[in-house]
Amino acid sequence: MIRALIADDEWAARAKLQLWLVEQGDIEVVAQCADGFDAAEAIGRMKPDVVFLDIQMSGLTGLEVAAQQEQAAAPLLVFVTAFNEHAIRAFELSAVDYLLKPYDKDRLLNTLARVRTRTLDRAARSNAVATARAQTNSSERLLVPENGQLLLIESAVIEWIEADDNYVHLHTAQRNYLLRRTLQDLLSQLGERQFARIHKSTAVNVSAIAALVPLFKGDHEIQLRSGTILRLSRRYKDALFDRMQR
């Protein structure tokens, strides 16, 4: 069985899609969501195989929800839209599946045929997330868990990031957040202009650096404006120095 999640802020659109999906026999609809925040939470909790994401939703758009997914762990994504021509061109160039409203059952069946062949295709999942990130300002805001809910925080308030297996600790001046993402994927979303790696398991917001303090034998410490002190690995020293001199 293919486990599907439907995210659309129109009740009639969700009902129609669910009816057509369950008719297939090999698809189970595990959740319906009416806004982007609920969709992001349900994706993380339900781990569906495929998500039908309406682009125009309240709270978070479908593209914003997709942009926050980890590329290696994302479900298959089918974007649903009524009129976003710019996004459609991007989908076609990236071979990402989409449904253009109003679509009929034949169009859905064509999409499902591709979904069935891509259930194990990691490249298809990664391409959809990368395309969504390119269409949004995904580097500026992050979804983080807070007391059983999801919040959007500005990435600029993150001072440094610490990897912990498949999780990352996001350190701000006021508090910390624990996010289930890999450091590599998170940095690919946030972009190199804002964050720099200073250790294999640590990255820092360049704008939060107050000083670089030399130690013995070429080692350095990084002092942040908040007073936090981090160790700079020799492996990443030259790259950081180049960044600081730009």
Residue 70, token pair as written in the block = 């980890």
- Give the pLDDT score at 238: 85
- Give the pLDDT score at 214: 86
Residue pLDDT tens, the chain, 246 long: 999 999 999 999 999 999 999 999 999 999 999 999 999 999 999 999 999 999 989 889 999 999 999 998 999 999 998 877 777 887 887 778 999 999 999 999 999 999 999 888 888 889 999 999 988 888 899 999 888 889 999 999 999 999 998 899 999 988 999 999 999 999 999 987 789 999 999 999 999 999 989 887 778 899 999 999 999 988 888 888 887 776
Q: How far is CA 14 from the centre of its chain?
A: 23
- Range list of β-strands (E), the chain: 2-7, 27-33, 50-54, 76-81, 98-100, 141-146, 149-154, 158-164, 167-172, 176-179, 195-199, 202-205, 209-214, 220-224, 229-232
CA-closest candidate to residue 117, choices 18, 26, 54, 45: 26
Q: What's the predicted TM-score (pTM) here?
A: 0.87
Instruction: Identify whether 48 is preceded by a cis peptide bond (ω within 30 of 0).
Output: no
- Give the pLDDT score at 189: 92
Which residues of the chain does CATH 2.40.50.1020 include? Answer: 141-244
Which residue shows structure tokens 């914003």?
64
Q: What angle do CA 161, 163, 168 make, to 5 degrees?
A: 70
CA-closest candidate to residue 98, choices 81, 84, 118, 117: 81
Which residue shows structure tokens 């994927």?
185
Which DSSP state fits 17? H
Domain 2-135 top-level CATH class: alpha beta
Q: Cα–Cα distance between 235 and 89 in angstroms, integer?
A: 41
Domain covering 141-244 in this structure, CATH number? 2.40.50.1020
Q: Which residues contact 82 (CB under 8 A, 6 or more apart)?
A: 56, 100, 101
Which residues of the chain does CATH 3.40.50.2300 include? Answer: 2-135
Q: Cα–Cα distance between 123 and 29 in angstroms, integer?
A: 24
